[in-house]
């Protein structure tokens, strides 16, 4: 009986780390999406504003990546001590849990910049190899909604290039590497933290895909998993969220730039995943 109770007590914080980490990641994106839809509806219905493609992208960036991802990530360290105190008061198995949490970010050192360069090359290389492998399978993959919008309105891609560094990279990395990976790492260690957070990050992009077959879309998410591992590894190596944010930003900006060039040249879109 004592052994069973001890196992339950040790299992609770572990499961809580996994569930809470995944929940925060999903909640951040869901909140941003809902805010984007509500504000867009308010502008269209309430004020009669006609939203252009560029305006739609700006709304999504500000409310999804900015407020949804970045805002939730910044709020987490402040709210976590209160949640931990609440759980300690009700579950003795939570008595040894820590309430402190931080999102380390600083000006990159020379070593950090080296990790950035290597991480960017590896992440982009993996995306290219993954895209080639997926194309060889002949599976029909879905199209990322940002890519679909860019194909119809190439000028949108010119907004997404700087936004990759200013909002997409920082917002998503603070949430998925800083909070999700950091939370899971506490219970499972750095390797599992990187892998699980990367799987959550890649998997949640299923909602950004339109069209494609189930197999093709799973393969697309599989391609995105590997660059995500690079982002997570860079964070663990540097303990500085600025580094994976830069890698993520440069990765996305390169893909958007190549897509813009491909559209203007009448070529096929470049391989990769966002």
The DSSP code sequence of 174-225 is: IIIIIIIIHHHHHHH-HHHHHHHHHHHHHHHGGGGEESS-HHHHHHHHHHHH
Residue 93 φ then ψ, to 5°: -70, -10
The pLDDT value recorded for residue 169 is 97
Q: What is the mean pLDDT of residues 44-53?
A: 93
Q: Which helix (H) or strand (E) holds 144?
A: strand 143-144
Contacts of 102-107 spanning 24+ positions with Cβ under 8 A: 102/77, 103/73, 103/74, 103/77, 103/174, 103/178, 103/179, 103/182, 103/241, 104/178, 104/239, 104/240, 104/241, 105/240, 105/241, 105/242, 106/240, 106/242, 107/242
Q: What is the mean pLDDT of residues 195-223?
A: 93
User: What's the mean pLDDT when you consider all of the chain?
Assistant: 90
CA distance 152 to 3: 62
The pLDDT value recorded for residue 271 is 46
| pLDDT greater than 90 at residue 174 | yes
| pLDDT greater than 50 at residue 255 | yes
Could you report the per-residue pLDDT of 60-110, keeping only the tens digit for each? 999 999 999 999 999 999 998 887 777 777 766 555 556 579 999 999 999
Could you report the per-residue pLDDT of 109-149, keeping only the tens digit for each? 999 999 999 999 999 999 999 999 999 999 999 888 888 88
Q: Which helix (H) or strand (E) holds 138?
A: none
The pLDDT value recorded for residue 72 is 97
List the structure tokens of 40. Answer: 């867009």
Residue 98 φ then ψ, to 5°: -100, 145
The pLDDT value recorded for residue 171 is 98
Q: What is the mean pLDDT of residues 16-33?
A: 95
Q: How confident is the model at residue 154 (pLDDT cuts 50, 70, 90)?
A: very high
| pLDDT greater than 70 at residue 268 | no
The pLDDT value recorded for residue 6 is 46
SS3 143: strand
The pLDDT value recorded for residue 1 is 45
Looking at the DSSP bridge assignments, the partners of residue 144 are 209
The pLDDT value recorded for residue 12 is 74
Burial of 160 (0-12, 13-18, 19+ CB in 10 A): buried
Q: What is the mean pLDDT of residues 185-191?
A: 94
> How far, in Å, are 95, 130, 174, 199 from residue 17 at the CA level?
14, 31, 17, 15
Q: Spell out a b/e string for 131-153, using b for 16 or more CB atoms within 10 Å of the CB, else e.
A: beebeeeebebbbbebbebbeeb
Looking at the DSSP bridge assignments, the partners of residue 143 are 210
| pLDDT greater than 70 at residue 4 | no
Q: Which residues contact 145 (CB under 8 A, 6 or more apart)?
A: 208, 209, 210
């Amino acid at each position: 009986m004592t052994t069973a109770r001890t196992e339950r007590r040790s299992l609770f914080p572990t499961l809580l780390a996994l569930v809470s980490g995944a929940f925060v990641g999903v909640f951040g994106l869901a909140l941003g999406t809902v805010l984007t839809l509500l504000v867009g509806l308010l502008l269209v219905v309430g004020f009669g504003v006609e939203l252009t493609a560029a305006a739609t992208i700006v709304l999504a960036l500000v409310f999804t990546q900015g407020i949804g991802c970045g805002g939730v990530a910044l709020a987490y360290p402040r709210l976590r001590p209160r949640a931990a105190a609440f759980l300690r008061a009700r579950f003795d198995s939570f008595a040894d849990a820590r309430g402190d949490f931080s999102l380390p970010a600083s000006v990159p050192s020379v070593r950090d910049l080296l990790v950035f360069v290597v991480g960017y090359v590896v992440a982009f290389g993996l995306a290219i190899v993954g895209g080639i492998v997926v194309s060889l399978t002949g599976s029909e993959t879905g199209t990322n909604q940002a890519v679909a919008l860019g194909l119809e309105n190439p000028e949108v891609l010119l907004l997404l290039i700087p936004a990759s560094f200013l909002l997409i990279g920082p917002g998503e990395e603070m949430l998925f590497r800083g909070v999700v990976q950091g939370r899971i790492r506490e219970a499972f260690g750095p390797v599992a933290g990187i892998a699980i957070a990367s799987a959550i990050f890649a998997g949640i992009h299923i909602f950004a895909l339109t069209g494609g077959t189930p197999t093709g879309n799973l393969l697309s998410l599989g391609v995105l998993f590997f660059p995500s591992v690079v982002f997570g590894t860079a964070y663990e190596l540097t303990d500085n969220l600025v580094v994976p944010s830069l890698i993520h930003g440069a990765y996305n900006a390169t893909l958007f730039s190549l897509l813009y060039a491909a559209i203007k040249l009448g070529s096929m879109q470049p391989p990769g995943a966002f």
